[in-house]
Structure 1
Amino acid sequence: MKKHSLISAPIVALTVSALLVAGVAYAQQSSVQTLRGADIDEPVAVDQVHRQDDSGRFTRNYRQQPPLIPHSTEQYQIDLNANQCLTCHDWSRAGDRGAPTLSMTHYMGRDGEQLDSVAGTRWFCTQCHVPQADAPALVDNVFEPSN
Structure 2
Amino acid sequence: MALAAGLLMFVTTAAVAQVAEKLVPQLEGPTPQMATEAAAPLPKWVVDDKRKMRAYPDQPPVIPHSIEGYELSVNANRCLSCHKREFTQDSGAPMISVTHYMTRDGQMIADVSPRRYFCTACHVPQADTSPLVPSNFKDMSELGFKPAGSE
Q: In structure 2, do the counterparts of structure 1 residues 75 and 34 end up closer, same or farther at CA, with 3 Å as the change threshold?
A: same
Match of 1:70 in 2: 64
* Counterpart AA for 1:33: Q
* Counterpart AA for 1:134: D
Q: Does 1:54 align with 2:44?
A: no
Instruction: Judge conservation of contact 1:76–1:84 (CA < 8 Å) in 2.
Output: yes
Match of 2:10 in 1: none
Identity of aligned pairs, percent?
A: 43
Deviation per CA, 1:94-125, whole angstroms, max 9, x where unpaired? 11111100111100112222111100111111
Aligned-residue offset at 1:79:
1.7
Normalised by the length of structure 1, the TM-score is 0.66
Aligned-residue offset at 1:83:
1.1
Deviation per CA, 1:14-70, whole angstroms, max 9, x where unpaired? xxxxxxxxx7xx56xxxx232415xxxxxx3x4243211123222111111111100
Match of 1:33 in 2: 33
* DSSP-derived class of the 1:92 partner: helix
* DSSP-derived class of the 2:89 partner: helix
Structure 1 stretches of 4+ with a deviation exceeding 6 A read: none
Q: Which runs of 5+ in 1 are unaligned?
A: 1-22, 38-43
The total of aligned residue pairs comes to: 112
* Counterpart AA for 1:51: K
Please give the alpha-carbon distance, in whole angstroms, between the structure 1 residues aligned to 2:102 and 2:128.
33
Query: Which 10-residue stretch deviates more, 49-58 or 68-77?
Result: 49-58
Please give the alpha-carbon distance, in whole angstroms, between the structure 2 residues aligned to 1:112 and 1:85.
23
Aligned-residue offset at 1:142:
4.4
* Counterpart AA for 1:36: T
* Counterpart AA for 2:81: T
Please give the alpha-carbon distance, in whole angstroms, between the structure 2 residues aligned to 1:57 and 1:90.
17
* Counterpart AA for 1:94: T
Please give the alpha-carbon distance, in whole angstroms, between the structure 2 residues aligned to 1:73 and 1:142.
31
**Equivalent residue runs for 1:79-90 within 5 Å:** 79-90=73-84
Match of 2:104 in 1: 110
**Equivalent residue runs for 1:113-124 within 5 Å:** 113-124=107-118
> RMSD of the alignment, in Å?
2.0
